[in-house]
A and B are shown apart, each in its own frame.
Chain A
Amino acid sequence: MEQEKIRITDYNFYKEIAQTEKGAGITKCLSCGTCTSSCRVYSINPDYNPRKLIQKAVLGLKDQVLNDEMIWICSRCNDCIEKCPKGIRPGDIITALKQLALENGIKNNKGARHSIFFKKSILKSGKVNEMILPLYTLRFKIISQIPQSIRMFFKGKLPPLFPKKIKRWQDLEKLNRLIEERRASK
């Protein structure tokens, strides 16, 4: 692998993560690597390495970590959370990194788009538009989904292009407005 260049170090990044609900455990990480050795995704795609991501975050490599698309490859199987000897919930720390990436405006990758679309879609109809979700996430790479979509079509299982709105869907808009107003006043 190419030698990675270490440039920008933000010593407060570690504290920033520790202050999040999901990332609080980071202060207790021993970097023992149990998360990585128990990780199913790592065993197939070693570019996703939770220990390394957390260690980089501890070192303050904020830009590098938040821009690393690998944070979006955690399959959320929660195995590392079970196995971590310190109980620091490594998988949740990865979630905290995703939250911070979005907060910092890093939105132009598949994982981030996937996440953003969910709330958008729920606000619109109360449900996730499963027809548009892959398109929004994958963009032109949507071609890879065509064979599967054809099979689904013939089984009558292609999701509707315009999902039926849930009853009282306006509730969700109202709840969201209250949350956003609170956030703005902080």
Chain B
Amino acid sequence: MKYILYPGCAGEATTKEALKSTTSVLDFLKVDYTENEALSCCGAGIVEEEDPEFEVSINARNFALAEQEERDILTICNTCLFTMLRVQKTLREDQKLLDQVNQDLATIGLSYKGTVKVTHFLWFLRDEIGLDKIKSLIKNPINQLKIAPFYGCHIIRPTDVMNDEKEPEFMNELIKACGAQDVEYKDKYNCCGFHILLADQDTSLKMTEDCLINANKSKADMLVTPCTLCHINLDGYQAEATSAEMPPTPVLHLGQMLGLAVGLKPKALGLHQNLVPVGKL
């Protein structure tokens, strides 16, 4: 398979270590991918609030550009995944809208056929690489660690858009494949609060704190998340979200965890850029 890597806004700036670790792992796996500099922001479900037509239009443009290169879209942000899949569903179900959008796209020399597949790094690892292959690549198992998976909302819900498992277990499987112990706790599929960080910071960070406290209660040494936005709250705002008594809880990006286990160097995974120090592994 060939891909365009779509990091999302956070992956390019505030969580650039997520992009770094993902590209390091993709290179290690010898995946054919490019970074297309013409693709725009997906709108993050926020543009939809002000101008739903514009949201559909800019996403269709991204899809059309990917189709032109005959590549699928691979993202590392749950919200990008959800937004793109939602727009694809809308366009699949509304022929009139699709015709209108294509008429607009024609003025910039593009067309959306509906052939491009949008996937997430976590799904890509599950569906294209597979657990057995991953297990065979582990050189440096991260033993003695208890890791809590934090899936994030927009890779699961709403199920009619995501068209995937309701209660995914693949990240648990990955944690075990990497040699660590997976921790069960009640916030595994819960919301980190990122999307109201600016609208209501107190509530947002209380949601984050609850997730971290519950992971800690279940004796997790650290968390791992496939979403760059969840990482902003769990790692970037951890100092604000938690009280001084709580021990700092490192939060790994999916690519960082897998990268460590396959023997990539911490620097190639941007581990030094996590706000909560990861320490020696």
Contacts and interface: CB of A to CB of B under 8 A. Distances in A.
Contact of A130 (B9, B104, B193): B9
A119 B54 contact: yes
A166 B38 contact: yes
Contacts of B236: 148, 151-152
B140 to A, nearest CB: 25
Contacts, number: 172
Interface string B188-231: 00110111101111111011001000000000000000000000
Per DSSP, chain A at the interface is helix
A44 B206 contact: yes
A167 B37 CA distance: 6
A5 interface: no
B108 interface: yes
Interface in A111-126: 111, 114-116, 118-119, 121-122, 126
Interface stretch (A7-15, A52-60, A133-141): A133-141
A128 B104 contact: no
B136 interface: no
A134 B198 contact: yes
B70 interface: no
Interface string B141-167: 000000000000110011100000000
Contacts of B40: 122, 126-127, 166, 169, 172
Nearest to A171: B108
A138 B204 CA distance: 15
A116 B14 CA distance: 21
B49 A98 contact: yes
A122 B14 contact: no
21 contacts: A75-B191, A75-B193, A75-B196, A78-B157, A79-B157, A81-B157, A99-B49, A99-B52, A118-B43, A122-B40, A122-B41, A128-B9, A137-B198, A151-B236, A151-B275, A157-B13, A157-B17, A159-B14, A175-B61, A175-B108, A179-B57
